[in-house]
């Protein structure tokens, strides 16, 4: 008798008890997808960032017409290899350049015959604090027209796009949360109106506002977590579906694969699992505040 759950208010039988979990499920579903999208983007950007940090490309202008080699590569390599912090500097050989051009020009091209800019792949120790601006100037002095590309510009643009995606996703989560709060307020007010008689009896029997609010808040917590788990399960199924489809089609390249991101035990993914409980907590607090405010009107 002591351990059975007993509610003075028959909230379980309300219409709200049926519709609220579905509302919460839908909202947690949307929020999960938005958050998962953010995490995938963030993960991809982090991998690009890691992959590109410490990687530089030096671009030398094409040799003057008719000359196969003007010694520019050797000059540039000398500058690079003489710079502390540079761990490796290799010119792209003809084979590698041909491989890069093959998709456009076909396999039977002698790259050496074309006036192509020449590329040097440079690896630096990221923590050595190589002064890239100075290095760029040194290179330009040694080989007029030489350009140092640290991929920052490109990466910054990607980062800005990623940030925009994150802001939109965050906005979706906030809006979804806001709608959830409104739904809980509506359901709680309906419950208060439907059970007005019982609430009044409890009030007149000397129940403190907190006692009455507790009944609503536990109920809201249960419905919120229930709906939240359903929404999260649906979201995980959806993500798994997308990942499987993407792997089969091979549509997404290495950097934006969803599955590795999903399987990575990153803290963020754990946070995603907490979403149903966050939903329950929000529902609980909202119900509590709604009831306490309504009860203030009783003498």
Partner 1 sequence: MRYGAGPEILRDITFRLEPGSFHFLTGSSGAGKSSLLKLMYLAERPSRGLIALFDRDIATAPRREMPALRRRIGVVFQDFRLIDHLSAFDNAALPLRVAGVPESQVKEHVTELLSWVGLGDHLNAKPPTLSGGQQQRVAIARAVIRRPSLLLADEPTGNVDEELALRLMRLFEELNKLGTTLVIATHNRVLVERFDHPHLHLADGELSTERPRKRSTA
Applying CB under 8 A, which residues contact partner 1?
1-2, 6, 8, 10, 13, 197-198, 200-208, 211, 296, 299
| In the complex, least distance from residue 5 CB atom to partner 1, rounded to whole angstroms | 12
Rg (CA), the chain: 31
C-alpha–C-alpha distance, residues 263 and 261, integer Å: 6
| In the complex, least distance from residue 209 CB atom to partner 1, rounded to whole angstroms | 8
Decide if 238 contacts 1 (C-beta within 8 A). Answer: no
The number of C-alpha atoms within 13 Å of 265 and in the hemisphere containing its C-beta is 0
| In the complex, least distance from residue 211 CB atom to partner 1, rounded to whole angstroms | 6
Decide if 187 contacts 20 (C-beta within 8 A). Answer: yes
* Closer residue to partner 1, CB minimum distance, 27 or 199: 199
* Closer residue to partner 1, CB minimum distance, 185 or 292: 292
| In the complex, least distance from residue 294 CB atom to partner 1, rounded to whole angstroms | 14
| In the complex, least distance from residue 193 CB atom to partner 1, rounded to whole angstroms | 16
C-alpha–C-alpha distance, residues 205 and 120, integer Å: 85
Beta strands in the chain (DSSP E): 55-60, 86-91, 118-124, 147-149
* Closer residue to partner 1, CB minimum distance, 103 or 197: 197
| In the complex, least distance from residue 207 CB atom to partner 1, rounded to whole angstroms | 4
* Closer residue to partner 1, CB minimum distance, 106 or 197: 197
Using CA atoms, how far residue 90 sits from 56, 118, 119, in Å, is 11, 11, 9
Break the chain down into helix, strand, coil percent, rounded to 5. 70, 5, 20
Query: Residue 83 gets which letter from DSSP?
Result: S
* Closer residue to partner 1, CB minimum distance, 178 or 211: 211
* Closer residue to partner 1, CB minimum distance, 13 or 81: 13
Helices 275-295 + 152-194 axis angle, to 10: 40
């Amino acid at each position: 008798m002591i351990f059975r759950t007993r509610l003075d208010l028959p909230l379980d039988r309300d219409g709200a008890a049926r519709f609220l979990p579905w509302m919460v499920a839908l909202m947690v579903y949307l929020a999960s997808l938005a958050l998962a999208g953010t995490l995938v983007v963030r993960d991809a950007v982090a991998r690009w960032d890691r992959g590109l940090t410490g990687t530089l490309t030096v671009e030398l202008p094409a040799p003057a017409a008719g000359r196969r080699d003007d010694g520019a590569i050797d000059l540039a390599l000398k500058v690079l290899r003489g710079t502390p912090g540079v761990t490796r500097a290799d010119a792209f050989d003809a084979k590698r350049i041909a491989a890069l051009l093959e998709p456009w020009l076909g396999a039977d091209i002698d790259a050496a015959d074309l006036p192509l800019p020449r590329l040097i792949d440079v690896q630096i120790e990221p923590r050595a604090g190589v002064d890239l601006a100075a290095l760029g100037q040194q290179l330009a002095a040694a080989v007029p027209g030489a350009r140092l590309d640290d991929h920052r510009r490109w990466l910054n643009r990607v980062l800005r796009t990623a940030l925009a995606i994150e802001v939109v996703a965050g906005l979706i989560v906030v809006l979804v949360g806001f709608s959830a709060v409104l739904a809980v307020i509506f359901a709680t007010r309906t419950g208060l109106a439907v059970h007005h008689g019982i609430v009044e009896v409890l009030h007149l029997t000397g129940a403190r506002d907190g006692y009455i609010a507790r009944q609503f808040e536990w109920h809201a917590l249960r419905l919120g977590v229930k709906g939240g788990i359903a929404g999260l399960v649906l979201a995980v199924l959806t993500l798994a579906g997308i990942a499987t489809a993407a792997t089969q089609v091979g549509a997404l390249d290495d950097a934006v694969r969803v599955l590795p991101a999903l399987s990575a035990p990153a803290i963020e993914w754990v946070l995603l699992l907490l979403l149903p409980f966050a939903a329950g907590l929000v529902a609980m607090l909202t119900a509590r505040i709604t009831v306490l405010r309504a009860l203030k009107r009783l003498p």
